Amino acid sequence: MKLIILDRDGVINFDSDQFIKSPDEWKPIPGSLEAIARLTREGWRVVVATNQSGLARGLFEMVTLNAIHAKMHKAAAQAGGRIEAVFYCPHAAEMNCDCRKPRPGLLNEIAARYGHDLHEVPAIGDSLRDLLAAESVGARPLLVKTGKGEKTLAAGGLPENIPVFADLSEAVDHLLKTAA
């Protein structure tokens, strides 16, 4: 099974410092849905791992998060892709949970659900916490410059040999070429 893990905000859709709080605020980054469609056509199982502390902060309710994800699933399907599942952490950083990236909880949950060792599974993110979570479970972290990616790159302190791509589309092009 070819599995790939994507962060949501800043990788698939535009991010906001004020959080994505409604389906109307969820807007795909150009090329991201088509990249998911290419992965789907090539037999990859696409899952999303995302921190959603807006729930704990009271910025939106669970029904709203579900509506945002329904819009994302529908948009991916309309482009010919499929997002199999969305794993999310609903906690704020100060809650000190195991599922909030950079901790490994979400990724361990994915491994358990799919019965799949995450060693070398590509995990694409735009923040250091995405990369560290991937690295902590032996997955292969990749950084995109969209979302917080440019700031992440400029801040330095990245794990060694992290490949950097302009966006999800470029990262997927690379993965599909190297997996062939």
Choose among 2, 3, 1: nearest CA to 110.
3
The catalytic position among 9, 126, 130, 167 is 9
157: CATH: 3.40.50.1000
| DSSP helix/strand/coil, 119 | coil
Per-residue pLDDT at 1 exceeds 70: yes
pTM: 0.97
Number of folded domains in the chain? 1
Whole-Å CA distances, 107 to 87, 145, 166: 8, 22, 24
| DSSP helix/strand/coil, 40 | helix
Choose among 134, 129, 135: nearest CA to 147.
129
117 among known catalytic residues: no
How far apart, in whole angstroms, are the C-alpha atoms of residue 5 and residue 156?
A: 23
Question: In the predicted model, what is the mean pLDDT of the chain?
Answer: 96
How far apart, in whole angstroms, are the C-alpha atoms of residue 148 and residue 14?
A: 10
Determine the residue type at 37.
A
What are the pLDDT digits (tens) for 41-95? Answer: 999 999 999 999 999 999 999 999 999 999 999 999 999 999 999 999 999 999 9
What are the pLDDT digits (tens) for 53-67? Answer: 999 999 999 999 999
What are the pLDDT digits (tens) for 125-165? Answer: 999 999 999 999 999 999 999 999 999 999 999 988 999 99
What are the pLDDT digits (tens) for 154-166? Answer: 999 998 899 999 9
Is 102 within 8 Å of 136 (Cβ atoms)?
yes
173 among known catalytic residues: no
The catalytic position among 7, 15, 130, 167 is 7
Determine the structural domain holding residue 162 and report its residue range: 2-179
Query: Taking the chain, what is the end-to-end CA distance rounded to the nearest angstrom?
Result: 14
Task: Provide the pLDDT for residue 180.
Answer: 64
Is 51 within 8 Å of 57 (Cβ atoms)?
no
Give CA torsion, residues 78, 140, 54, 170, to 10 deg: -40
